[in-house]
Structure 1
Amino acid sequence: MNPVLIGYGFLMLAIIFEVTGTTFLMKSAQFTKLIPTLLTVILYICSFYFLTLTLKTIPLGIAYAIWGGVGIVMVAFIGIVLFKQSIDLPAAAGIALIISGVIVINVFSKTVGH
């Protein structure tokens, strides 16, 4: 199997663990609830572990840009859906720019073979 494809699979797992950990961070109530706090820590550790595996085939800057960008968008969506938070037009525009940036990296960058 293609090592870059495996790297993107690890990156996807890192993003999922980070976003889930951040969701439990909200549920931890500033670390006052034990189970959500423990889940946050465990999920963040898993996220960073898979991010390190990603770095075997994808450069740090590219991996981190995708990890951060996709994570931001997913957490914003979760905030809207699960926590009934709202965003204004500038926030929506910023999120759209983040999505655009991730697309540009993945479609046009020759840094990593696809």
Structure 2
Amino acid sequence: MPIPKPHYSVSWIYLMLAVILEAAGTIYMKFSEGFTKVVPSILMLIFYGISFVFLNLAIKKLDVGVAYSIFSGLGIALVTIGGIFFFKDPITIFRVTAISLIMIGVIILNFTDLSH
């Protein structure tokens, strides 16, 4: 039986999974303390690897520029939020503004992609 091709909306799910896993990989990069801690280092590599598998699946149906922009933008926002929660990075007006601008950009890209 042939493997069914992913539906367009499934590609968005793949993209969101890729973003979440990439952000988790980056957070575990910090936990690995320069690859000196084995378990966080291994988890980082696993999360990054699976993230790129899902990104690859997502760009089968989505425009690569839109998908990668969303992947990068949301990844930056999630890692910044993760840094605040896990590593006590300071919350500043500049960070809040930057994350807000990223989110606005992602929303605009989504509307642009839906208009096709």
Please give the TM-score of this superposition, normalised by the length of structure 2: 0.88
The reply on whether 1:78 has 2:71 as its aligned counterpart is no
What is residue 17 of structure 1 aligned with on the other side?
Answer: 21
What is residue 62 of structure 1 aligned with on the other side?
Answer: 66
Aligned length: 112
Q: Deviations over 1:47-85 (max 9, x none)?
A: 001100001100110000111111111111111111111
Structure 1 contact 4–113 (Cα < 8 Å) conserved: no
Which of 18, 26, 32 is 2:30 aligned to?
26
2:78 maps to a residue whose letter is M
> Cα RMSD (Å) of the superposition?
1.8
Please give the TM-score of this superposition, normalised by the length of structure 1: 0.90
Give me the identity figure in percent: 38
Runs (4 or more) in structure 1 with deviation over 6 Å come to: none
Q: 1:2 to 1:32 in 2, by over 3 A?
A: closer
What is residue 103 of structure 1 aligned with on the other side?
Answer: 107
Task: After TM superposition, give the deviation of residue 91 of structure 1 in Å.
Answer: 2.6
Instruction: For structure 2, list consecutive stretches of 5 or more residues without a partner in the other structure.
Output: none
The reply on whether 1:88 has 2:92 as its aligned counterpart is yes
